[in-house]
A and B are shown apart, each in its own frame.
Chain A
């Protein structure tokens, strides 16, 4: 079975541009979460989506937005890119996104975004 997939793997943008990152969850998983990992730090929670609804949002500006599609895949959009947005963007999927002993988040390989 395929795990979580993300595209593209690497991306280079310049300040002020816009970027769209994509994520496909594990088959059967309905919840997708996005994390940002700046070099040298642990991942930070950005969003969680379940059944196309935003379930939660971390401490990120409105330049960051996301959506989930009927097939449960997701896009993360970042507008007006800043140098500080350079990071590894991780997508994680889980069955239903609720606290339960069986609902574990599984991560994709990430998209490395470099803003110049």
Chain B
């Protein structure tokens, strides 16, 4: 499984852009990068995913480097409700199963 490395915690001021980095240097050519977030003891919420091109949706933007060894999730205008643990995941298909391998994630705190 391709592993990901994320900083354990980050802070961001409300209204500013939050940029969350992720390293996945062993990613394979057909593995996607997924981002989920989990707000205190709720189920993880899907945010965005990509293969090699930058992606944007109503929640966030995902920037993947050309060598695909790292990516950045961008929340353009962070609000207090964006305080959560953010997981960067490389999605693998193993033993016939589609499984998400979660790491420790980044605890993002949005400060007023």
Knowing A42-B105, A99-B91 are in contact, say whether A55-B44 is a contact too (CB < 8 A): no
Contact mask A19-62 → B, CB, 8 Å, 1/0? 00000000000010101000001111100100000011110000
Nearest neighbor of A43 in chain B, beta-carbon distance: B102
Residues from chain A with Cβ under 8 Å of B112 in the complex: none
Decide: B101 and A45 in contact? CB cutoff 8 A.
yes
Q: How far is the CB of A44 from chain B (nearest CB, A)?
A: 7
Task: Name which residue of chain B comes closest to A90, CB basis.
Answer: B43
A104 at the interface (CB under 8 A from B): yes
Q: How far is the CA of A92 from the CA of B34 in the complex (A)?
A: 15
Number of interface residues of A (CB under 8 A): 31
The count of residues in chain B whose C-beta lies closer than 8 Å to any C-beta of chain A is 27
* Given A4-B43, A109-B42, A112-B41: A48 in contact with B102 (beta carbons within 8 A): no
User: What A residues does B42 contact at CB under 8 A?
Assistant: 109-110
Interface string of B92-106 (1 = CB under 8 A from A): 011111111111110
Q: Supply 19 further A-B pairs (C-beta < 8 A) apart from A56-B94, A98-B98.
A: A33-B98, A41-B104, A42-B102, A42-B105, A45-B99, A45-B101, A48-B98, A48-B99, A56-B96, A57-B95, A98-B93, A99-B32, A99-B93, A101-B51, A103-B98, A104-B34, A106-B46, A109-B42, A110-B42
